[in-house]
Amino acid sequence: MLGACDFNTMEQVFERAMAVSDDPSKYSKVFSTGRRSYVRQFNELYYARLNELKPHVLTHAARRWGGKNMTHTLKVLNVEADETTYIVGTVFIDSNKKPSTLDQVEKEHWISDPEISDGYRNGTETVYLEDESGRIRLVGDVVDQSLLVSGIVAAMLGKETPDGSFEVADMCFAGMPPQTALASVAEDKYVAFVSGLSATVECPVTLEMQLLAEYLCGTLGPVSHRPLPAQIVQVVVAGDVLSLPTPPLGHTEDARANDRSAVSALVSAIDSYLADIAAAVPLALMPGAQDPADTSLPQQPIHPSMFAQCKQYSAFRSLSNPAFLEVDGHVLLGSSGQNVDDIARYVMYPNNGPTDSPCELAAKSLQWRHIAPSAPDTLWCYPFSDRDPFILAQSPHVYFVGGQDLPDSGEARGSDGQHTTVVTVPKFSKTHCIVLLNLRNMKCTTVQFSATNV
């Protein structure tokens, strides 16, 4: 016989906060490759980049050096000796540390991901500035002490040396693009950033992952711990949700080597895992370097057929990498980390340690108005012919980067009042940590999950 309910002892129910999201189609074409064709040359991408960014670089150069009566030389090869001037072009770094696909083909029978170098700059490289007329070598302490990445469009102030090089005294970039006004949020609302779940065949859902899901769904721990999870209005998984085993190369007669049933079971388990979260809170999924998606950037959304359970929920979205999305009037730009990882390889190491954190590198890329300048030189990307999608047309309010070793936050400020909060999201499989961003005050906090006390 059922007893009467004692309503005084029932658990308190928390209602999840709500946020207004953008139309899924609003930013879908920004990083779309459309109908793909790989017959084009990458020089078209470089020309499109230079032509689009050059006017912005010239504007900032005029602001920076205009009061000093500095002249602008239109072509890099037209620089005259003993004349202080500034030139605009694309930075190119010639280094034997950079990966070479041709060398890789010579060494192996199979083309795979490019070899990853620890760093491309060690003092032996040559730095050039090039435009449609040619290239000129850049020299001087400013060049040696500055973070320069292949593909940046920049203005260089200096003069020609007797040997035909260009000694740089100062430099400037395109600067941050315009930014829309930041929407006001009256109450605490959080965006949860997760990256690098790296689910494996051996253990698709770890105990820490299960704790994370329960936390995001608002069912973890005592009632006193649940008000904050109830204020999470968006979850973003920034890359590497899977860690797939390396498939066998070439043809083999061994059926066991070609058996992919374990991978299918892994994908099904992650689909179920993410669907449980999407049933409780809006979830956006971006592909990463380890996921079953394009190797080259921009990675297109993971095919919805892999997420039969997730796609039943309207709150689930499969995004590209990089990707834009809006939450309550806040424009978020995100990357799964490959672009910032490659920028880090251009950092000089004068004191046996990096001079810039990944968060600082991401902030600098906003000042360049380009989030993946090293593509296609050292970062694989699609050969666009008429545009460069990595050029920023607007400054986001938040720029998050996944796949990093540690959580961090910072800011990038533009000359016209732009202000972007920059967030680096750690690999969950290594740190068991996520980052929460409060949309009310743009402050970040971390939450770490431990199974040792469970």
Best CA proximity match to 301, nearest among 237, 243, 247 = 237
Q: Model confidence over 216-233: pLDDT tens digits?
A: 999 987 887 778 999 999
pLDDT at 286 over 60: yes
Residue 13 has a pLDDT of 57
Q: Model confidence over 147-199: pLDDT tens digits?
A: 999 999 999 999 999 999 999 999 999 999 999 999 999 999 999 999 999 99
Residue 255 has a pLDDT of 55
- Those residues with Cβ within 8 angstroms of residue 139's Cβ, 6 or more apart along the chain or in another chain: 127, 161, 165, 166, 167, 168
Overall average pLDDT of the 59-83 stretch: 90
pLDDT at 4 over 50: no
Integer angstrom CA distances of residue 211 from 49, 348, 434: 45, 40, 12
Residue 35 has a pLDDT of 82
Residue 124 has a pLDDT of 85
Q: Among residues of the chain, what percentage have pLDDT more than 90?
A: 71
Per-range mean pLDDT, top range of 20-24, 184-188, 320-324? 320-324
| pLDDT-wise least confident of 181-190, 260-269, 356-365 | 260-269
In the numeric block, the tokens 């990498």 are attached to 321
Best CA proximity match to 330, nearest among 189, 206, 200 = 189
Tokens of 428: 């969950």
Residue 69 has a pLDDT of 80
Looking at per-residue pLDDT, the higher value among 232 and 97 belongs to: 232
Residue 6 has a pLDDT of 37
Residue 354 has a pLDDT of 53
Percent helix, strand, coil in the chain (nearest 5)? 25, 25, 50
Tokens of 449: 């999950």
Q: Is the pTM of this model over 0.85?
A: yes
pLDDT at 373 over 70: yes
Helix (H, G, I), strand (E, B) or coil at 112: coil
